[in-house]
Amino acid sequence: MIEVNTGTDPLLKRAFSLFRITGKDLQILYRVRGKGTAILKNMKEGAYLDMLGPLGSFYPLPPEDQIPLIIAGGIGIASVFSLAERLAGRAIVFYGARKKYDLLMFKEIEACAHELVVSTDDGSAGRKGTVAEAVEAFLRSHASLIASCAIYACGPYPLLKTLAQMTQEYRIRTYVSMEEHMACGIGACLGCVVKTRDGYKRVCKEGPVMSATEILW
């Protein structure tokens, strides 16, 4: 959670994934969305920011014999990037965006992925279509691998929902990183809940990474 300004509007902290930690740097990768991210964008180098974290859960690392499929829709790449890096050379990464211009950190991902499957809605890079379609095509053509796959996904809600339904069909263990509006980020306000089989769970505390089968989509 990052405090984007010291005034009262915007008031609440904004949630960001820890994109990458290198030596002394802690990096976030963000998309300008509204007021808060616009303030971040206009910040000068050397400015100070208050931050609370790291908070919440991370993707559980797959056992050695598993094939990790990492799936990122749009800015969701910020959440899964460090996982891809950690799994150096092991993961098959599916990265989808609206258009070529929106594909960030392309070289870096290519470098740490075992294989990179790119898709764009308008076909300006990689496969034309959604990232979910790309994943489905892969699964269909690699039926023998399915049993040893595990999925790690972050992106817009509709993408995660589609993936969850699809991977349930294929019986693939699937972890998704959820988004909800947040106030505290530390489990106190109960504002960020998603509905699960065991009732409402807090995205900031029990999440953001949750098992896809646990969520009532």
Partner 1 sequence: MSIDISVRIGDLELKNPVMTASGTFGYGEEYAEFLDLSRLGAIVVKGLSLNPKEGNPPPRIVETASGMLNAIGLQNIGIERFIREKVPFLKTYDTKIIVNFFGDSVNEYVAAAERLSSVHGIHALEMNVSCPNKQAGWSIFGTDPLVMSQVVGAVRKASGLPLIVKLSPNVTDIAHMAKVAADAGADALSVINTLTGMAIDIRTRRPKLANRTGGLSGPAIKPVAVRMVYDVYKAVKIPIIGVGGIMNTEDALEFILAGASAVAVGTANFIRPTVSVEIIDGIAAFLAQEHISSFHSLRGTAHES
Ligand X SMILES: Cc1cc2nc3c(=O)[nH]c(=O)nc-3n(C[C@H](O)[C@H](O)[C@H](O)COP(=O)(O)OP(=O)(O)OC[C@H]3O[C@@H](n4cnc5c(N)ncnc54)[C@H](O)[C@@H]3O)c2cc1C
Least CB distance to partner 1 at residue 10 (A): 7
Task: Choose, by CB under 6 A, the member of 29, 189, 214, 217 that binds ligand FES.
Answer: 189
Q: How many residues does the chain have?
A: 217
Least CB distance to ligand X at residue 181 (A): 4
- In terms of Cα–Cα distance, which of 75, 74, 72, 117 is closest to 92? 117
| Token duo for residue 93 | 């990464």
Task: Choose, by CB under 8 A, the member of 21, 26, 52, 145 that binds partner 1.
Answer: 52
Q: Is the Cβ–Cβ distance between 75 and 29 less than 8 Å?
A: yes
Residue type, 5: N
Q: Compare residues 29 and 183 and give the one whose CB is closer to ligand FES.
A: 183
What is the C-alpha separation between 17 and 31, in angstroms, rounded? 12
- In terms of Cα–Cα distance, which of 211, 181, 216, 213 is closest to 196? 216
Does residue 189 bind ligand FMN (CB under 6 A)? yes
Q: Compare residues 138 and 157 and give the one whose CB is closer to ligand X.
A: 157
Site string for partner 1, 159-188 (x = CB under 8 A): ---------------------xxxxxxxxx
What is the C-alpha separation between 189 and 183, in angstroms, rounded? 7
Task: Choose, by CB under 6 A, the member of 105, 137, 146, 183 that binds ligand FES.
Answer: 183
CB neighbour burial string for 61-84, b if at least 16 within 10 angstroms, e if fewer: ebeeeebbbbbbbbbbbbbbbbbb
Does residue 34 bind ligand X (CB under 6 A)? yes
- The H-or-E segment that residue 140 falls in is helix 131-141
Chain residues in the site for ligand FMN (CB under 6 A)? 189, 191
Q: Give the binding site for partner 1 (CB under 8 A).
A: 3, 8-13, 50, 52, 180-195, 199-200
Binding residues vs ligand FES (CB under 6 A): 182-185, 187-192, 202, 204
